[in-house]
Structure 1
Amino acid sequence: MSDSMEKKLAEAMAELTAVQEAVARAEGELGQSSTTARSRDRAVEVTVGPQGELTGLKFPDNRHRSMTGPQLAASIMEAVQEGRSEMARKVMDVFEPLTRTTGRATGIRGIDIDWDRAFGSALDDGHGGGRRSSARLHDEIHED
């Protein structure tokens, strides 16, 4: 193997190691992360973990006591969706630097992440504020 080929291989291996270390740091940073969200009517507060899992549910000020079952269900769904969406954005922000092309001569690209596959319905619709069906349901209940 020529010296230039060995040099390119060593550079590629060093770059790969740096990417692996950056991914491990990002995973560590997110591992203990959570976000809290409330429904628009402020009746429900949820805490969502780094994988979009529900880790806490509260009913501040006991507003839920005057709600019907469908109203409360809609508020819970709205708060959970908002929390999952916020956490998905947080994860995307942490991993975004790793998705860029490095620009080095080794040709190693950034990590290719399929965000839709990773987060599914937790992501916004991508049209800048599109409303999810649970939010529309919530509005319909309040209109009655």
Structure 2
Amino acid sequence: MSEPLQERIAQAAAELEAARAAVERAQTDLSQASATVRSKDRVVEATVEAQGGLTGLKFLDNKHQNMTGPQLAASVMEAVQQGRAQMAHRVMDTFAPFTQPGPEGSVRRGLDLDWNRIFGSALSGGGQPGSGRAGRDRLRDEIHEDDEGDGNGGNRT
């Protein structure tokens, strides 16, 4: 009877080692991953890394020179949010196999991950209809309030 128990322990150890190696490969792949996304108006290009950090920002063809500050800010935010959403989905796809139970007879149960808690607003800002609209309006409101509040047209000296 100790033979089957030792076999199961060996199988579990082998599965654990395989899962550890697979997670390490996934982490290595994602550490080098990024998404580059353009705003809908094609004014801004943002590059975002797997953890959601902004690693690059380009203003394309000097189109931004004809925009107001709030318009440019909205384009930047849109591109960054789309990039974050794209990378969040890539991370989810990469780690999806670890959320599933192993095959019949496996000891692997699968992880229960709350992706919304991990990525927050990045999941809802990925170019879905109406996504990011409230954020853009809020940003415009905040910029507008700054312009009115200091009696200096928003310019600080």
* TM-score w.r.t. length of structure 1: 0.86
Compared with structure 1, are the counterparts of its residues 77 and 71 closer, same or farther at alpha carbon in structure 2 (3 Å cutoff)? Answer: same
Assess if the C-alpha contact under 8 Å between 1:88 and 1:122 holds in 2: yes
Assess if the C-alpha contact under 8 Å between 2:77 and 2:136 holds in 1: no
Give the match for residue 72 of structure 2: 72
Is 1:52 matched up with 2:79?
no
State how many pairs are aligned.
138
Query: Partners in 2 of 1:135 and 1:60 — Cα distance?
Result: 25
Dislocated runs of 4+, deviation >3 Å: 133-138
Query: Partners in 2 of 1:56 and 1:40 — Cα distance?
Result: 17
Give the match for residue 131 of structure 1: 130
User: Aligned to 2:47, what secondary structure does the other structure show?
Assistant: strand
Query: Partners in 1 of 2:72 and 2:119 — Cα distance?
Result: 25
Query: Partners in 2 of 1:133 and 1:48 — Cα distance?
Result: 17
Query: Partners in 1 of 2:111 and 2:53 — Cα distance?
Result: 24
User: Aligned to 1:78, what secondary structure does the other structure show?
Assistant: helix
Query: Partners in 2 of 1:43 and 1:130 — Cα distance?
Result: 20
AA of the residue aligned to 1:5 = L
Assess if the C-alpha contact under 8 Å between 1:124 and 1:130 holds in 2: no
Aligned-pair RMSD on alpha carbons?
2.3
List gaps (5 residues or longer) in structure 1.
none
Assess if the C-alpha contact under 8 Å between 2:88 and 2:123 holds in 1: yes
Query: Partners in 2 of 1:117 and 1:15 — Cα distance?
Result: 28
List gaps (5 residues or longer) in structure 2.
141-157
Which protein is bigger by CA-based radius of gyration?
2
AA of the residue aligned to 1:104 = E
Q: Counterparts in 2 of 1:57-136, with a 5 A limit?
A: 57-124=57-124, 129-134=128-133
Q: Counterparts in 2 of 1:9-28, with a 5 A limit?
A: 9-28=9-28
1:74, distance to aligned residue in structure 2 (A):
0.6
**Identical-pair percentage:** 53
* TM-score w.r.t. length of structure 2: 0.79
Give a deviation string over 1:58-95, Cα, whole Å, max 9, x none. Answer: 00011100000110111111000000001111111111
1:33, distance to aligned residue in structure 2 (A):
0.7
- Indicate the larger mover: 100-109 or 46-55: 100-109
AA of the residue aligned to 1:46 = A
